[in-house]
């Protein structure tokens, strides 16, 4: 039987909290550990229970939701609940999974956010088990992609393009998140929008490198580490 993902919901508004807990109850692969209107109690519950997913309101009287995120050493997948999108945008610097805008009326939007969290957790599990591949959600299917087959990864906001020798996969995932899943002894960020497999590099010039027939930009920030990683005569 597939493992259920554990959840905690924190929102000082009673109606919003009831809606979230109802949506969790409707989703077969989720288990609710607790729901809290008090932000302090909710924060303590996160630390003690270590849930897989936290549904977190941004604006609360005791503790701001963003301050809760900053305080956590072990960060679960966090789905923000907010009445103002501007707070969600600010929170993405803390690598939150997704956000839901109040009033939450769409189960489709809810399940999209939860599925993204589920996929993130699956990728983390792959990394922990030392696999030589990663599963990526491609055309609604979790597809195994061997690390060795990846030439480079290109970031486009909330999407990435995973370039292999034979095809390019477009995946709903952030570049900063995929960087954490790729083996650090194989891959290196060379630009704010590009991660490359070092062994696939054919040549390097002042501001770019060549992998196969693709030219990848190299920024001054990342070039020293790149030169340090390659073998030079």
Q: For 139-178, what is each residue's pLDDT tens digit?
A: 777 888 899 999 999 999 889 999 998 899 999 888 988 8
Q: For 12-38, what is each residue's pLDDT tens digit?
A: 999 999 999 999 999 999 999 999 999
CB within 8 A of 232, min separation 6: which ones? Answer: none
Q: For 175-216, what is each residue's pLDDT tens digit?
A: 988 888 888 889 999 999 999 999 999 999 989 999 989 999
Residues 143 and 108 in one domain: no
User: 1 falls in which pLDDT band (50, 70, 90)?
Assistant: very low
Residues 13 and 95 in one domain: yes
CATH assignment of the domain containing 199? 2.40.50.1020
Domain that holds residue 140: 131-229
Residues 92 and 206 in one domain: no
Transcribe 56-98 into DSSP letters: EES--SSS-HHHHHHH-SS--EEEEEES-HHHHHHHGGGT--E
pLDDT of residue 52: 95
């Amino acid at each position: 039987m597939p493992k259920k993902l554990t959840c905690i919901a924190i929102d000082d508004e009673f109606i919003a909290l009831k809606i979230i807990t109802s949506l969790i109850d409707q989703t077969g692969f989720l288990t609710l550990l607790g729901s809290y209107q008090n932000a302090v109690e909710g924060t303590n519950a996160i630390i003690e229970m270590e849930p897989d997913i936290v549904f977190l309101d941004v604006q609360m009287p005791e503790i701001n939701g963003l301050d809760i995120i900053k305080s956590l050493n072990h960060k679960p997948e966090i789905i923000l609940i907010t009445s103002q999108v501007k707070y969600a945008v600010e929170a993405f610097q803390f690598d939150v999974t997704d956000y839901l805008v109040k009033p939450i009326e769409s189960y489709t939007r809810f399940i999209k956010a939860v599925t993204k969290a589920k996929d993130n957790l699956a990728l983390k599990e792959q990394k922990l088990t030392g696999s030589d591949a990663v599963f990526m959600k491609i055309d609604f299917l979790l597809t195994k992609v061997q690390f060795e087959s990846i030439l480079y990864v290109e970031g486009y906001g909330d999407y990435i393009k995973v370039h292999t020798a034979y095809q390019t996969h477009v995946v709903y995932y952030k570049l900063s998140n995929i960087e954490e899943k790729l083996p650090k002894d194989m891959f290196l960020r060379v630009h704010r929008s590009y991660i490359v497999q070092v062994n696939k590099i054919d040549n390097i010039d002042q501001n770019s490198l060549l992998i196969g027939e693709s030219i990848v930009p190299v920024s001054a920030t990342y070039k020293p580490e790149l030169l340090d990683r390659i073998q030079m005569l």
